[in-house]
Amino acid sequence: MARNKHPEETVNRILDTAFRLFLENGYERTSIQDIVDNLGGLSKGAIYHHFNSKEDILAAVTDRITRESNQMLLDIRDRAGLTGREKLKLIFKVALDRPAQDQLFMVAPDFSRSPQMLYAVLRETIDDAAPHYILPIIEQGIADGSIVTEYPAELAELLMLCANIWMNPLMFGSTVEQSRRKFLLFRQMTQNFGLDILDDGLISRLMDLAQLYEDRQ
């Protein structure tokens, strides 16, 4: 094989293929050889040049998925002229409005077929998204008086656990109606905490995404 002058492209091809296979067949049932077979011409050695193990590939796959999302979180977190409460709402709106969400809901099979993928999302949510993006926004909200809570770090975790895992139709294969009821209970819970996260427009957007997922079942 000709020497690859664009290692980043190779890495991205490997990650595209690995991600698709992990979701379609499950992480455990996907071997490095399966990834090679689906890469059309890339050797096993080329993969091992970039990754030490399948675990390594999984880590890179989830890193890449969350990087784009994290950049968006960062932009809103550090924006001037908004209260903490407004930023929290905006984050949910921007995250859901991205066209990439439609692709994900149309393409991604049920995460429940891959415990490792679900687990990776769970850990990323608790170890990264909640403390580094949501917590600073809640702390700003406490400082500017727009959010009242004694438990900012825990509230950040609880919100993101609901949003990324429990309310995510991809995680438990929820129907549109089940999803709608989860969104409404989540809205009630957040309103009880004095937060204003899901308005009717966002609930309708969430149901469109849940519908994209249901249509493929």
Q: Closer to a second copy at the Cβ: 39 or 125?
A: 125
For residue 73, the minimal CB distance to a second copy (Å) is 21
**Which residue, 52 or 71, has its beta carbon nearer to a second copy?**
52
Among 29, 44, 123, 216, which residue sits at the site for a second copy (rule: CB under 8 A)?
123
Neighbours of 161 (CB within 10 A): 16
Pick the binder of a second copy from 72, 96, 189, 207 (CB under 8 A).
189
Q: Restricting to residues 169-188, name those near a second copy by CB under 8 A.
A: 172, 178, 181-182, 184-185, 188
Which of 154, 199, 201, 215 is in the footprint of a second copy by CB under 8 A?
Answer: 154
User: From the CB of 181, what's the least distance to a second copy, in Å?
Assistant: 5
* In the complex, least distance from residue 54 CB atom to a second copy, rounded to whole angstroms: 10
Q: Is residue 204 near a second copy by the rule CB under 8 A?
A: no
Shortest Cβ distance from residue 192 to a second copy (Å)? Answer: 4
User: For residue 141, how far is the Cα from the chain centroid?
Assistant: 24
Q: Does 166 bind a second copy (CB under 8 A)?
A: yes
Alpha carbon of 192 to those of 122, 158, 162, 187: distances in Å?
A: 25, 14, 15, 8
Q: Verify binding: residue 107, a second copy, rule CB under 8 A.
A: no
**Of 7-15, 40-48, 149-157, 197-205, which segment contacts a second copy by CB under 8 A?**
149-157
Q: Which of 44, 112, 148, 204 binds a second copy (CB under 8 A)?
A: 112
Report in angstroms how near the CB of residue 182 gets to a second copy at its nearest: 5
Please count the residues of this chain forming the interface with a second copy, following the rule CB under 8 A.
Answer: 31
Task: Answer yes or no: are the C-beta atoms of 108 and 23 closer than 8 Å.
Answer: yes
DSSP the chain: -PPPS-HHHHHHHHHHHHHHHHHHH-STT--HHHHHHTSSS--HHHHHHH-SSHHHHHHHHHHHHHHHHHHHHHHHHT-SS--HHHHHHHHHHHHHH-HHHHHHHHHPPPGGG-HHHHHHHHHHIIIIIIIIIIHHHHHHHHHHTS---S-HHHHHHHHHIIIIIIT-HHHHT--HHHHHHHHHHHHHHHHHTT-----HHHHHHHHHHHHHHHHH-
Q: Give the residues lining the site for a second copy (CB under 8 A).
A: 28, 112, 115-116, 118-119, 122-123, 126, 149-151, 153-155, 157-158, 161-162, 165-166, 172, 178, 181-182, 184-185, 188-189, 192-193
